[in-house]
Amino acid sequence: MNLDDDLYREIILDNYKSTRNRRALESPVFKQEGVNPSCGDDIELYLKSDGDEITDASFEGVGCSICIASANMLCNAIKGMHVDEAEALVDRVKGMLTRDETPEFPEGAEDLEAIQGVAKYPVRIKCALLSWNTLHRLLEEVRGGTPAGDT
């Protein structure tokens, strides 16, 4: 258990420090802001999609380590996913953090297990879920068709 905690802490730190996904995407792009006032997390999530598949994802903004690490894992996980798969993943992450479920994460999304420990700290759950709630709203926009981002 302690070994896992150390490993998970390392995964969160690596994702927090990663800059690979921290950039804006050129329009046309789907984008949504997500704000968590209780912590000060404020991110902008960008998504590119051909209508079925998510072709690129990135984010910008400020946030605590949990918020940023979770957003980075999100971007890594959903690139190349079908919109429905991404929506299913949102539900799995929510299930893990709010319904005490132990989900099976698809290949490429295994890092997400590392944020499971956050479920023990109710105030941090919002930090971890911020990007996922934002993604949920974005996916509805993708289903609607046209990017609302500046064109």
Measured from the CB atom, the residue of 43 and 83 that comes closer to Zn ion is: 43
- Cite the DSSP H helix spans in 27-114: 65-78, 83-98
- Return the residues of window 48-77 that contact Zn ion according to CB under 5 A: 64, 67
39 binds Zn ion (CB under 5 A): yes
Closer of 11 and 142 to Zn ion (Cβ):
11
Buried b (16+ CB within 10 A) or exposed e, 126-135: bbbbbbbbbb
Q: How far is the CB of 96 from Zn ion (least distance, A)?
A: 17
Token code pair at residue 14: 């690596």
CB 43 within 8 A of CB 60: yes
Binding range to Zn ion, per CB under 5 A, among 13-21, 33-41, 72-80, 81-89 = 33-41
Residue list 115-134, contact with Zn ion (CB under 5 A): 127
Q: Give 15 or 49: the residue with its C-beta nearer to Zn ion.
A: 15
- Tell the residue number behind the tokens 């926009």, with chain if given: 141
Residue whose entry in the numeric block shows the structure tokens 């000060």: 40
Instruction: Give the interface with Zn ion as residue ranges (CB under 5 A).
Output: 39, 41, 64, 67, 127
